[in-house]
């Protein structure tokens, strides 16, 4: 295990997005908070997702998780596609870093960026609303695992994409719909029967639902089911990425 090489690549990935933090951290925080302003303030008095919890309180954990998911995905996917298109991926591939170490560095940086944006949204929500903390442990576990899973999906998207158009299609037609239909803005029990059943096949729903459980102790499904689904998908995506990285699919010419 080349710990120094893995750490160096991780630091390089963190510095990559930190150097443009206005774009990669502060801009997503502001755009996510706009949802809180629009939905939380306008709909708050007209809708209640869970009893004894205002809609704004219900909404904040969902928005935090949405920010984590989208930014963790964007970090690993954009980094890899840029390296492929600009040709500097070659220097990474010839370095003494194994596919596992490369994967760990990519996912670690994705987790850092996802959590950085998520914490920013959470702080604003905490200051402005009466946000409860039933279990910090569940909050931290789902935040890290979900960021790791989305970083892994972003890495897969970066591997399979040949140009920015392919990556944009992946994000616009897969990631964004699954994120918005994951229960960020509503409880799935408010949906008609068909769409409620369909939500159970959306892995993003379990990440959002488990994360929200850490705040209020209530969720649409068992928190252990959410944890199991999240871990299963993370293991699957890790396996797929390691196989593709080891074989050099679409990264070695």
User: Mean pLDDT, to the nearest integer, of 100-113?
Assistant: 96
Tokens matching residue 252: 């070695």
Check: pTM over 0.85? Answer yes or no: yes
**Hey, what are 113's tokens?**
């960026």
What pLDDT digit, counting tens, does each position of 37-77 carry? 877 666 665 666 666 777 888 889 999 999 999 999 999 99
* Cα pseudo-dihedral 144, 145, 151, 152, rounded to 10: 150
Q: Report whether pLDDT(191) > 60.
A: yes
Which of 3, 20, 147 lies closest to 82, judged by CA?
20
Cα torsion for 169, 28, 146, 236, to the nearest 10°? 20
Where is pLDDT greater, at 204 or 218?
204
**Is the pLDDT confidence value at 253 over 60?**
no
Residues 179/204, Cβ–Cβ less than 8 Å: yes
R_g of the chain, CA atoms, integer Å: 18
Identify the band that residue 101 occupies on the pLDDT scale cut at 50, 70 and 90.
Answer: very high
**Collapsing DSSP states into helix, strand and coil, what is residue 245?**
helix
């Amino acid at each position: 295990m080349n710990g120094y090489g893995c750490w160096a690549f991780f630091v390089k990935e963190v510095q990559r997005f930190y150097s443009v933090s206005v774009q990669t951290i502060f801009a997503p925080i502001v755009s996510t908070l706009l949802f809180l302003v629009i939905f939380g303030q306008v709909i708050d008095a007209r809708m209640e997702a869970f009893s004894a919890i205002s809609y704004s309180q219900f909404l904040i954990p969902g928005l935090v998780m949405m920010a984590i998911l989208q930014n963790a995905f964007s970090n690993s996917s954009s980094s890899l596609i840029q390296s492929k298109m600009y040709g500097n991926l070659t220097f990474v591939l010839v370095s003494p870093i194994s596919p596992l170490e490369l994967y760990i560095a990519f996912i670690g940086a994705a987790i850092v960026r996802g959590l950085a944006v998520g914490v920013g949204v959470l702080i604003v929500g905490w200051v402005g609303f009466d946000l409860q903390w039933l279990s910090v442990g569940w909050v931290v576990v789902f935040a890290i695992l979900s960021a790791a899973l989305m970083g892994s999906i972003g890495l897969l998207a970066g591997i399979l994409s040949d140009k920015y158009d392919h990556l944009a299609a992946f994000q616009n037609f897969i990631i964004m719909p699954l994120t918005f239909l994951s229960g960020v803005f509503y409880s799935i029990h408010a949906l008609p029967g068909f769409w409620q059943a369909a939500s159970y096949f959306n892995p993003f729903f379990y990440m959002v639902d488990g994360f929200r459980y850490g705040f209020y102790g209530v969720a649409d499904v068992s928190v252990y089911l959410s944890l199991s689904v999240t871990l299963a998908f993370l293991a699957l995506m890790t396996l797929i990425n390691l196989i593709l990285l080891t074989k050099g699919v679409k990264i070695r010419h």
